[in-house]
Structure 1
Amino acid sequence: MKRIYLPLLALLCLCANVSAQKPITLSSTDPAADYADLLPLKNQLSHATVIGAGEGTHGSREFFRMKHRLFRFLAEEMGFTVFAMEDSPIGAALIQQFIDTGEGNPVAIIREHFHKVYQVKELSDLVYWMRDYNLHHDKKLRFAGFDCQQMHYFHQQLSGLSTQYDLQCFAPLLNYTADTGITFSKAMEPIIRICDSLKRVLPASMNGVPEADWKLARFCLNNILAAAHEFRMQQDDWEQSFNTRDSMMANNIFWLAEKYKGEKMMLWAHNSHLGNVYSDSGFTFRPMGEHLRKVYGQRYQNIAMLTGSGTYRALPDHHVEPDTAHAIVPPIAGSAEAQLQAYKIPMFILPLHKSGIRGRMRTIGSIASEYQFTLWPVALRERFNWVVYLEKTSSAATL
C-alpha cells in the first residue's frame, strides 16, 4: 500500500509547496507602464542598496524591457541612481557622457563598444530615457559597466592616459606584441608578468596626474590583468577562469560603489553571475553575486529571470553576427521553469525565501544552443532572492 501512495504523497507535497508561495502578478514588461503591480516590492526591497536583475538568456526582449522598467521604478520610487551592466566600463563612460551632455550617438556607441549580445534597441531605449530623466531631475542617474573581459578597451583607455600625461611606466605593457606563432592563451603569460611587475612598483599617486585619472589608470591595469588570467586559464582550467572573471566583476562593482559613495545601484547581468555560490560534481563556481553577498549581506538582493517559451537572439557561433531565429525549448520535466509554469500566470515575480523549487534551470549565454538547461538541479532560493517568470518571450531587436 505504501508503494502505491508514496508517489501520490510526493505530488501532493509539491502542489502544497507551490500553492504556499505568493507570486506577485505583473501586468506588463513595458517600461512606460505604471507601477501599481511593482509597489508591493517597495517595502520588501527597502533595505537593499544593490539589486541584481538577471536574465536566463542574453537575447530576450521581455527580460531587457523588464529590467528597464525595474530601473525606472527603482529610480523614481526608491532613489536608485546607478545603473551598471555586464559590459565594458569604457563604453559605459561614453554612454554616461551622452546622458550628461547629449554629446555622441548612443546607438553608435553601443554598436562600437558593447558586446554583440547587447547591441539591441532595448538597451538604447533605456539610455535615451536616462538622458531625458536627467534633463528634468536634480538627482542624476549614472550609467556604468563592470565587466573585465574587454581587454582591448582597457588597453585603449590606458594608452590615452599615458599619452595625455606622458606616463612612460606603462610602456612595457602598451608596447607588448605577441608572437604570432603562439596560441592566444599562451600570449597572455607575458601580459600577466608585466602587469604583476607594474602593480608591485606603481605608487599610490603620481605627480602631475589628477587623482581620478591615476585611479582610472590603475583600474585599467587591474582589469587587463584579470582578463589575461581568465583567458590564460580557459584552455586548462575553466573553473578557475570563470571564478577569476566573476571575482574581478565584483571588485569593479566595489570600485563603482566607492566612486558613487552612498548611492544605490541596480545591476544588469546574466543569472549565472548574480547568484550565490554553486557547487556540484566537483565544480565550484563563485559568482559575482557570492562576493557581493559577503560584503553587503541582505543589502544585496538578486532577481533571476526565466521563461517558458518563445524565441531569443544569440550568436549561432563565435564567428558570425547574432540572429533572432533561435527557439526557447519547452521546459523539461521537473525543471525550475516547469514548476514556475505550473502557476499558470503569464508574468509574475516570486519571493524565494520559502520556496522549495529545485530543478534544472534554463541558462543560455551569448551562443545559441538546443541544450538549454543546467546539468544539475538548482535550488532557486539558495541562489536567488526573487525570480521573475515570463511565460513567453521574444527576440531582442538588433540595432
Structure 2
Amino acid sequence: MRWLGPACLVGWFSLAFLGACALQDGAPNDPLDAIVEGAMAVNFGEDSHGMTEIHRLVPVVFERLVERHGFRVFAFEAPWGLTDALADFMSSQRVELDAREQFFLHGAFVSEDVTRMLVWIRDFNRAHPQDPIVLAGYHPEQPVTDLHALARFLRDAAPDHAATLLAGIDVCRAGNDGFGTDLDFAEEVFALQRRGRVSYTAAERKACLEGLGRIEGALASSIPESTDLALARLHVLSVQTYVGLIRRIADSYLESPQAPVEMRIRWQGEAYSGTDEARFRIYEALQRIRFPGKKVFFWMHDWHAAKHASELGLIEDAADGGRFREGIPQGTVSFGERLAAASGGSLTTLVTIATLVPCGTTCTEPPSSLEPSFQRVFGARPTWIDLRVPHPDLPVTKPGSVFANGHGFGFGNVVLGRQYDAVLYLPTSEQLH
C-alpha cells in the first residue's frame, strides 16, 4: 500500500504542512509522482466545494505538477469566461480579486490560497513567456458574457443580419443593457427566486431558444470558419444550456414545490447529465483552440470526476423508511466519464483522484458509507492511497456509498477502485464559506 511515510504525519492538522511534507523532494513514500506519472490529465475531485484543507493543498499539488510533470493548464469547475475574466488580474500587480473575478471562480474556488496560487502562476508565466500556464473553465453559466460576445461577433461578421438576429434573443434578457455583468444577472435571478418567481416563463424560454436556433443556423450557413466563429458557437451552446436546461430545472422546483422525490431525482439527473455534456463540449473546443496537447489539471466535485458515473446511483436510507436520499439517478453521465471515454480509458492518459472525508459531527452518513472504513484504518492521519495496487484492508473493490459533507449530497454503488485511480483521505474538514 502506498501512503504517506511516518515522518510526514507529525503536525497533520495543517494541510499546508501535509502538502509540503507529502510533496517535498525525496520525501519517503512520496505518493504523488507515482500516481500521476505519465498522465496527460489529472482529474482531482473534492468531497465538497469550499473545503479549507483542499484549498491549502491544491496549490501545492499543482505547483508540483507544473515543475516536475510539465502541466500547463489549470481547469476549474467554473464558467468558461474565466480565462478572459482573469486576464486583467493576471497582467496586473494586484493580489486581491474583484467581485466579477470571484464570480468567475464560481465562489467555490475563491480563497486566499487560490489567490496566492494565481499570483504564483502569474510569476511563472512572466518568467516563462514561451511556455505559460493557461487558466480555463468550462461551465455554461455566464449568459451575460455569452450574449454580449454573440452580439459583438454578429455585428462584425454578419452586419446585414445582426439586428434581426439579435432582436430575436431580446427575450433572453441577460444580453440587455441593464445587465453589465453575469453577477448582475445572477443577483436578479436570485431575487426572483426569493420571491418565488421563475427566471423565465415557458413562453420566454421557448422564444429565447428559437432565437438562439436562428443564430445557430446563421453561424452554420453564411460565415467563414474561424476561431471567432468556433467561440461564437460555444456562446450559443452555453446560453442554450443555461436557459433551456439549468434555469428550466431550477424553475421546475419553484413551479412544483410539492413534486414527489422521484420527479425531483429525474430533474436532477437531467440537469447533471445535460450540463456535463455541454461542459465537455465546451472544454473539448477550448482545448483545440487554446491549449492543444497541453497537460491539464482539473478541479471539480468527486462525482463529476468519476470515470464511470453512469454506474452510480441513489443512496437508500433504511433509517428513513426505505426512502431514497436525493442523489444521482443511475445512468447519469458526468464530465469525468466523458473525459475518461475520450482518453480511451488509459491510466497513463487520465488519472482520477477522489477526496473522502468522514462526516464526524457535521452530517449523518448512510449505513453503506465507505468513509468510516478509511477512518478505522487511518484514524487522524490524512493519507494518499494509490488504488491501482491491492488494498485488502480497505473497501475499494466492493460497492458502497460516498457522502459529500458540505453539500448533504451522496451517491451509491461506488466501487472506488473502478471510479478512481487514487484517493486522498482527510480525517476532517472545515468549510471556507
Q: What's the TM-score bracket when you normalise by the shorter of the two chains? A: 0.7 to 0.9
Compared CA separation, residues 199 and 172, structure 1 to 2 (3 A): same
When the two chains are superposed, the root-mean-square deviation of aligned CA atoms in Å is 3.1
Match of 1:83 among 62, 74, 87: 74
TM-aligned CA distance change 1:182 to 1:88, over 3 Å: closer
Q: Which amino acid aligns with 1:149?
A: E
Q: Which has the higher mean CA deviation after the structures are superposed, 224-233 or 103-112?
A: 103-112
Q: Give the match for residue 132 of structure 2.
A: 140
Mapped contact 1:23–1:350 kept (Cα < 8 A): yes
Distance 1:98 1:32, change over 3 A: farther
Higher percent of residues as strand:
1
How many angstroms does 1:97 deviate by?
4.5
1:185–1:302 distance in 2 versus 1, CA, 3 Å: farther
Could you tell me which runs of 5 or more consecutive residues in structure 2 were left unpaired when the two chains were aligned.
Answer: 174-191, 253-262, 315-328, 391-395
Q: TM-score, normalised by structure 1?
A: 0.77
Match for residue 41 of structure 1? 32
Find the counterpart in structure 2 of residue 70 from structure 1.
Answer: 61
Correspondence for 2:351:
301
> Is the Cα–Cα contact under 8 Å of residues 31 and 386 in structure 2 kept in the other structure?
no
Measure the CA separation in 2 of the matches of 1:191 and 1:216. Answer: 20
Partner of 2:233: 218
Q: Is residue 2:262 matched to residue 1:246? A: no
- TM-score of the superposition, structure 2-length normalised? 0.72
- Aligned residue runs from structure 1 range 1-399, under 5 A: 21-24=1-4, 29-30=15-16, 34-36=23-25, 37=27, 39-99=30-90, 101-102=91-92, 107-108=97-98, 109-138=100-129, 139-162=131-154, 167=159, 168-169=161-162, 170-177=165-172, 184=200, 186=202, 187-203=204-220, 206=223, 211-231=226-246, 232-233=248-249, 235=252, 237-238=266-267, 239-259=269-289, 260-275=291-306, 276-279=308-311, 280=313, 283-296=330-343, 297-298=345-346, 299-308=349-358, 328-329=362-363, 333-344=367-378, 346-353=381-388, 354=390, 355-356=396-397, 358-364=399-405, 371-374=408-411, 376-396=412-432
Structure 2 CA distance for aligned equivalents of residues 192 and 300 of structure 1: 35
- Give 2:255's aligned residue: none
Q: CA deviation at 1:329?
A: 2.9
Specify every segment of 5 or more residues in structure 1 that has no aligned partner in the other structure, as ranges: 1-20, 311-326
The 8 Å contact of residues 54 and 268 in structure 1, kept in 2 or not, is answered as: yes
Is the Cα contact below 8 Å between 2:169 and 2:207 reproduced in 1? no
One-letter amino acid of the counterpart of residue 417, structure 2: R
The DSSP-based 3-state class of the residue aligned with 1:82 is: strand
Q: Percent identity?
A: 18
Query: Would the aligned equivalents of 2:89 and 2:97 in 1 still touch at CA under 8 Å?
Result: no
Change (3 A) 1:377 1:203: closer
**Aligned residues of 2:31 and 2:384 also touching (Cα < 8 A):** no
- CA deviation string 1:285-329 (max 9, x = no partner): 10111111111122122111121257xxxxxxxxxxxxxxxx633
Change (3 A) 1:106 1:172: farther
SS in 2 for 1:117: coil
Q: Report SS of the residue matched to 2:358.
A: strand
Q: CA 1:214–1:287 in structure 2 vs 1: closer, same or farther (change >3 Å)?
A: same
* Number of residue pairs the alignment of both structures matches: 352
Change (3 A) 1:81 1:331: same
